[in-house]
Amino acid sequence: MSDTEEQIGEEEEEVRGGDEEEQLGEEEEKLGEEEEKQEEEEEEKVPENPLTEEMVGECLSLLCKTGDGLAHAFVRLDIHEREITDISILKAFIHLRYIDLSGNKLKDISSLSVLTHLLTIKADNNLLVSAKLEEMPFLQIASFNKNKIKSLEGVNHPMLEHLSLNDNEITQISGLDPIKLARLHTLELRGNKLETTEGVCLPNLKNLFLAANTIKKVEGMSRLQSLTTLHLRDNQLEALDGFVEELKMLQYINFRGNNITSLKELQKLQALPMLRALVLSENPAAEEEDYRLEVLITLRKLERLDKEEYNDEEREEAEQIYEQRRQEELAAENTAEGEQE
């Protein structure tokens, strides 16, 4: 066989191989789509199991005076893990204040909108695709963890203090009204599909939990003037841009399990006057020589690194090295100026 024929044969084989790989990829993708469709169909086939008056009677507790003070009613309802699919009957129980609906098969909780005395809602581990409810005047705590919620639309309740939407399918932070959510102090969005911190415009928020997303950028933080705690563990951060001086109350940041490769990035945190505790373990930068010391030289007000307090000896050594480097820089600047003259 000639060299030319052999080359053509190899090229044809490569083409065939490429076609086979492409075909295999298409088949795998199709198989994945079919499995996803099958799962959705199985969810849709969930047998109907509406909440009944008898069940409600079994699960009511906490007898209290009604709002007008003229009668008494049970105000707590706990119906978790009963595979309930429909809670429409609850529209009649207008005095309820505390509801736990966790571990059921609910796809819709809009019936709760008429329960205007509700203080807490717990609806974890259901099949919800939305947390949207009519504005609830007294709702203080709402938890919708481990559902299939894709957005934050319709979660604007004037008394809400703690909102938890961990382990859902939220791709961006939007729809949170800073005026209506003026009392919100804690927002939990762990385990979603966020790629950025953009969209949190809540001036009174104190605690923000964003661990286990795919966040690559810290941005849009200038409106978080009251933030004290920020959890960004297990994301994909490489750089620490975005930490602005408006974050004047921020005391604790958790960066554990990101991709920060250089301790020089910590210079960007010098804009934070109240930063006292930092977690940086499980980042490449944490393997650098004299790691603890170098962090303290850069962030001299820091009190704790990776949950371990700095002692007086470490602090004194960091101050000495900082001052030595500062003097060396000044000397180098003076020398450079002299040479220019």
Average pLDDT on 116-137 reads 97
For the chain, how many residues are written? 341
Quick: pLDDT tens for 148-157: 999 999 999 9
* Pair of tokens at residue 203: 């001036």
DSSP for 285-324 reads GGGSTTHHHHHHHHSTT--EETTEEPPHHHHHHHHHHHHH
For residue 58, pLDDT over 60 is answered with yes
Phi then psi for residue 259, to 5 deg, are: -120, 35
Mean pLDDT (the chain) is: 89
Average pLDDT on 16-44 reads 58
pLDDT for position 166: 98
Instruction: Please state the separation of Cα 203 from the chain's center in Å.
Output: 17
Is the distance from CB of 244 to CB of 271 less than 8 angstroms?
A: yes
Phi then psi for residue 316, to 5 deg, are: -65, -45
pLDDT for position 15: 41
Is the distance from CB of 102 to CB of 123 less than 8 angstroms?
A: yes
H or E element, residue 8: helix 3-44
Average pLDDT on 126-134 reads 97
Quick: pLDDT tens for 245-300: 999 999 999 999 999 999 999 999 999 999 999 999 999 999 999 999 999 999 99
Quick: pLDDT tens for 183-201: 999 999 999 999 999 999 9
For residue 129, pLDDT over 70 is answered with yes
The C-alpha atoms of residue 161 and residue 155 are separated, in whole angstroms, by 12
For residue 93, pLDDT over 80 is answered with yes
The C-alpha atoms of residue 88 and residue 108 are separated, in whole angstroms, by 9
Q: Which of 81, 125, 131 is nearest to 109 (CA)?
A: 131
* Lowest mean per-residue pLDDT among 33-37, 119-123, 279-283, 316-320: 33-37
Confidence of residue 233 (pLDDT cuts 50, 70, 90): very high
Place of tokens 């000495």: 320
Strands 141-143 and 162-164: parallel
The C-alpha atoms of residue 255 and residue 231 are separated, in whole angstroms, by 7
* Pair of tokens at residue 72: 């008494």
